[in-house]
Amino acid sequence: MIYKILARWIPRQRLFTVFLPALLWGDIFEAHAVPPATQRVYQPTRAQQRIEEENRKRDARVQAIRRQNAAKQGQPAPAEPAVPPSAKIRYAWINSRRFVLLQDVARFYNMKISYQKDGITLTGTDSIRFFYDKRMSVVNGITLYLTHAPVPRGALVYLDEKDFLLVIDPVVRDAPLWRHPLGTIMIDPGHGGRDNGAPGSKTILEKNVNLMIAAKLATRLRSMGYRVIMTRTDDRFISLQQRAEFCEKMKPDLYISIHCNATEKNRTIRGIETFAMTPQDTASTNETRRGSSSGPGNSFDKNNYRLAYEVQKSLIAVTRTEDRGVKHARFFVLRNATCPAILVETGFISHPAEGALLARSAYQDKIVTGIVSGISSYAKSLRPPETSKKRR
Ligand SMILES: [Zn+2]
């Protein structure tokens, strides 16, 4: 169905290059319904069963396309992915959404699960902390916002399937990531011209700090061999629409938007946050209601989260400022990006100390070092299986 709707306004070629990665999530693990013995689990309705049937058909179609493409290129058809027994993850329908059993997720990752008063911890190569009443997790010390709080049901705890597939899994494993070439990076310094951006002190304007950081970032990435395109190189106004169109036209492999935060209410707030596009049918971090809208940016949900996590992690390691987490929002440039994209809020210009730091060249260099090392970690995660050491 979604194919039919999309095909109407997107040429066939684009449909596969842009939208295929999003459709490939069915092949890593096999989900099984929780046996009806657990009585508190809701049984799927007819409509939900129909959705599952459609998903199965869609997965079969994706497999067929992959086989066809492989045959066209004269390669042997890729084998159907073998599902290891440990990969069986049971799910349940709760309030019309699919949730996976956290116990099974732990087993899938070969991690130890422990229960605390306020939440659950999975430990192994990585450490993941969940909280019962919070839409957030902490992965290897970095705050990663979820789209839904985990749900306890009796002795069992469930995680929203989207949080598992799109947020947690691509961060702790490389296998779910879409492997794409990383040659051209688009850097987008936020605001400009008549749009000053967030209000800082009189002498510091967000648009200027963004541009200074972006210019340093461009120089550093170019010296590493990347081709860099900037949405603006001077103090001029560009609309969000123009930024999105530029991205679509230039087809970069990565899109990094640079911003600074500010708050008028509380000038003690400081720290860094990195945004990925909000997955479809989920609530953004700063909202409580689910939004159903989506865009091309959603084709790269998994890569967006991995990129955001790596950049946030390196930024916190370098600056040692407060980790305000990896969040998700439907920002225009993220929603319309035609490649994996993030928006970095590099700090609060409204905070007296952090604001002053952000205007300083030495601190901007630190921010750049953090972003660059995050991009490098992301690039490593895209390497073919045999050269990467991360669990797959
Ligand atoms: Zn901004």
Q: What is the pLDDT of residues 304-348, one digit of tens each?
A: 999 999 999 999 999 999 999 999 999 999 999 999 999 999 999
> Which of the two residues, 3 and 275, has the higher pLDDT score?
275
Number of residues that make up the chain: 392
Ligand 1 center–CA 191 separation, angstroms: 6
pLDDT for 16: 38
Spatial CA neighbour of 300 closest among 203, 206, 170: 170
Ligand 1 center–CA 263 separation, angstroms: 12
Spatial CA neighbour of 323 closest among 271, 259, 261: 271
CA distances from 359 to 4, 108, 374 (A): 50, 46, 22
| Separation between Cα atoms, residue 90 and residue 107, nearest integer Å | 11
12: domain CATH number? Answer: 3.30.457.10
Single residue among 122, 145, 172 that ends a domain in this structure: 172
> How many other β-carbons are positioned within 10 Å of the β-carbon of residue 392?
10
The answer on 80 and 131 residing in a single domain is yes
pLDDT for 386: 60
Residue type for position 365: D
Structure tokens at 13: 């070629």
What's the mean pLDDT when you consider all of the chain?
85
Ligand 1 center–CA 166 separation, angstroms: 26
Ligand 1 center–CA 381 separation, angstroms: 29
**Domain annotation covers residue 391:** no
With left for phi above 0 and alpha for psi between -120 and 50, is residue 236 left, alpha or beta?
A: beta
Beta bridge partners of 345: 259, 273
Structure letter (DSSP) for residue 141: T
Burial of 389 (C-beta count, 10 Å sphere; 0-12/13-18/19+): exposed
Residue 109: which domain range? 2-172
Q: What is the DSSP string of 148-180?
A: S--EEETTEEEEEHHIIIIIIHHHH-STTS---
| Separation between Cα atoms, residue 310 and residue 62, nearest integer Å | 29
Count H helices and E strands in the chain, helices first: 12, 16
Single residue among 172, 207, 230 that ends a domain in this structure: 172
The answer on 200 and 166 residing in a single domain is no
**Domain annotation covers residue 131:** yes
Structure tokens at 327: 């969040």
| Separation between Cα atoms, residue 133 and residue 111, nearest integer Å | 22
- Least confident range from 20-24, 117-121, 150-154, 277-281: namely 20-24
CA distances from 126 to 87, 136, 139, 169, 290 (A): 18, 16, 7, 11, 29
The answer on 195 and 144 residing in a single domain is no
**Over 50: is that where the pLDDT of 82 sits?**
no
Ligand 1 center–CA 357 separation, angstroms: 17
| Separation between Cα atoms, residue 104 and residue 114, nearest integer Å | 13
> Which of the two residues, 64 and 157, has the higher pLDDT score?
157
**Domain annotation covers residue 179:** no
CA distances from 249 to 130, 192, 336 (A): 40, 21, 12
> Which of the two residues, 89 and 54, has the higher pLDDT score?
89
**Domain annotation covers residue 269:** yes
- Around 151, how many Cα atoms within 13 Å sit in the side-chain half-sphere? 21
| pLDDT bucket at 4, cuts 50 / 70 / 90 | very low
Q: Are 139 and 132 in contact (CB under 8 A)?
A: no
The answer on 207 and 167 residing in a single domain is no
Ligand 1 center–CA 269 separation, angstroms: 16
Domain count, the chain: 2
Element (H, E) at 335: helix 332-335
**Over 50: is that where the pLDDT of 302 sits?**
yes
pLDDT for 155: 83
- Least confident range from 66-70, 215-219, 238-242, 270-274: namely 66-70
Ligand 1 center–CA 369 separation, angstroms: 20
Ligand 1 center–CA 189 separation, angstroms: 9
**Over 70: is that where the pLDDT of 37 sits?**
no
Structure tokens at 319: 């600056």
Ligand 1 center–CA 291 separation, angstroms: 22
Helix (H, G, I), strand (E, B) or coil at 194: coil
**Domain annotation covers residue 226:** yes
340: domain CATH number? Answer: 3.40.630.40
Single residue among 152, 172, 192 that ends a domain in this structure: 172
pLDDT for 179: 94
The answer on 166 and 190 residing in a single domain is no
Ligand 1 center–CA 261 separation, angstroms: 6
**Domain annotation covers residue 392:** no
Angle between helices 361-381 and 301-319 (to 10 degrees): 140
- With DSSP H G I counted as helix, E B as strand and the rest as coil, what are the percentages for the chain, rounded to 5? 40, 25, 35
**Domain annotation covers residue 178:** no
Element (H, E) at 273: strand 272-277
Q: Tell me, yes or no, if the pTM score tops 0.85.
A: no
- Least confident range from 59-63, 108-112, 143-147: namely 59-63
Q: Which long-range contacts (CB under 8 A, 24 or more apart) does 204-212 make?
A: 204/349, 204/355, 204/356, 204/358, 204/359, 206/259, 206/260, 206/262, 206/349, 207/235, 208/235, 209/260, 209/346, 209/349, 209/358, 209/359, 209/364, 210/258, 210/259, 210/260, 211/235, 212/361, 212/364
**Domain annotation covers residue 373:** yes
Ligand 1 center–CA 294 separation, angstroms: 22
As residues whose CB is below 5 A from the ion ligand 1, the structure lists: 190, 197, 259
